[in-house]
Amino acid sequence: MTKRLYHDDAYTKQFDATVVAVTTYKDQAAIVLDATAFYPEAGGQLGDRGRLGAATVLDTQETDDGTIVHLVDAPLEVGARVHGELDWARRRQHMAQHTAQHLLSGTLLDRAQAPTASARLGETALTIDVTRDRIPDTDLAAAEDLANNLVDDDLPIRAWFPDAGELASLKLRRDPKVTADIRVVAIGDFDFSPCGGTHAARTSQLGTIRITNTERYKGMTRVTFAAGRRARAELFTRDQVLRGLATRFSCAPGCPGLDRQGRARRRGPRERARGVAHAARRFDRAGVYRYRRGDRRTAGRRCARPRGRIEGGRVRPRCTARRAR
């Protein structure tokens, strides 16, 4: 049986081990080691990638009998001593997402009375299926808010194998899938769940947690979320889209023409006048319409002649002049 080094320390990035078997897994070359820090796909978390000696590890899987197989692109000999090195950026992101799933499952249960049935943490989408149908937006917002507050609290995360007495005293969020050697992961005193995966050391390492979508699924609710670097990337992308729309419609979030939800507001005479003032910032004193940097039509160049007019409280750009050189 392969010693699972990630159980002792999920932050092991490199290690040395001996090849104990050469085999195949679904027609791909695979090897078995006496010890490994590569995490095999399980519990919704993808298997690790990296290098073993001169070979590239394309994936790590676990067979039905519990053997960890490393799928490799080059042959290795039984008895060879190899140096293993994880694709750490990928593993770190997977650890953060997996731990964020623990935390969000806990807050969905606490604030939305929605127990987790299953979770999937793929390369492009992170989802949690909860057994409650039709969750109000206020409950989802409360669950997301609590998760982020617990991230801010920088709670310690601990994984260990409790004895039977201690295990009985713990209030686990879900029942374990195995009956022996049950490993428990605790997020502070907030969440206790059985899990053999890899986890961040503290909640502050999870970064922002965002629920990005929900949909009904087989009588349950499928919650799509993002965490850490992925959440930041999605927020950045959405912000870029919002900035583009604000430029296009001359109306940024918070401008007088939008309500708190960002919807266009019905305007009275005073607000129409304010809208004119807001839009008029794009004109200089001589009435020259100045395109902003990044405007596709002028690529940031200034226009030499007036290109727009204000009409009925709305800006009507008009581009008849040649571009200024």
Q: Which is nearer to Zn ion, 86 or 185 (CB)?
A: 185
* Shortest separation between residue 223's beta carbon and Zn ion, angstroms: 17
Q: 128: buried, middle or exposed (CB in 10 Å: 19+, 13-18, 0-12)? A: buried
Per CB under 5 A, does 40 bind Zn ion?
no
Least distance in angstroms from the C-beta of 226 to Zn ion: 18
**Min CB(301)–Zn ion separation in Å:** 54
C-alpha 145/C-alpha 147 separation (Å) is 5
Distance of closest approach, residue 44 Cβ to Zn ion, in angstroms: 9
Site residues (CB under 5 A) for Zn ion, limited to 65-124: none
Q: Which is nearer to Zn ion, 31 or 150 (CB)?
A: 150
3-class secondary-structure state, position 47: coil
Q: Which is nearer to Zn ion, 50 or 106 (CB)?
A: 106
In sequence order, what are the residues at sequence separation of 6 or more whose Cβ sits closer than 8 angstroms to the Cβ of residue 3?
Answer: 34, 35, 36
22 within 8 A of 75, measured Cβ to Cβ? yes
From 188-196, 221-229, 270-278, 289-297, span contacting Zn ion (CB under 5 A): 188-196
The least distance separating Zn ion from the CB of residue 102, rounded to whole angstroms, comes to 5
Residue 16, classed as helix, strand or coil, is strand
Nearer CB in complex with Zn ion: 228/257 = 228
Element (H, E) at 221: strand 220-227
Nearest residue (CB) to Zn ion, 96 versus 135:
96
Contact segment (CB under 5 A) with Zn ion among 59-67, 193-201, 221-229, 239-247 equals 193-201
> What tokens were used for 92?
């770190």
* Of 6 and 289, CB closest to Zn ion: 6
Take residue 155 and report the two structure tokens written for it. Answer: 């709670």
Q: Contacting Zn ion (CB under 5 A), which of 197, 207, 275, 308?
A: 197
Q: Which of 32, 128, 195, 220 binds Zn ion (CB under 5 A)?
A: 195
Name residues contacting Zn ion, limited to 210-239 (CB under 5 A): none
**Residue 160 beta carbon to Zn ion: minimum distance, rounded to whole angstroms:** 13
Give the binding range for Zn ion (CB under 5 A) out of 31-39, 106-114, 171-179, 192-200.
192-200
**Strand-pair partners of 35:** 3
How many residues sit in the footprint of Zn ion (CB under 5 A)? 2
Backbone dihedral angles phi then psi of residue 257, each to the nearest 5 degrees: -80, -5
Q: Name residue 221's beta-bridge partners.
A: 130, 216
**Do the beta carbons of residue 86 and residue 46 sit within 8 Å?**
no
Closest separation between CB of residue 185 and Zn ion, Å?
5
Q: Considering only 66-74, 150-158, 196-204, 279-287, which stretch makes contact with Zn ion by CB under 5 A?
A: 196-204
Could you tell me the CA-to-CA distances from 262 to 243, 255, 259, 280 in Å, in that order? 13, 9, 5, 21
Q: What torsion, rounded to 10 degrees, do the Cα atoms 186, 189, 191, 196 define?
A: 10
Residues of this chain that bind Zn ion (CB under 5 A): 195, 197
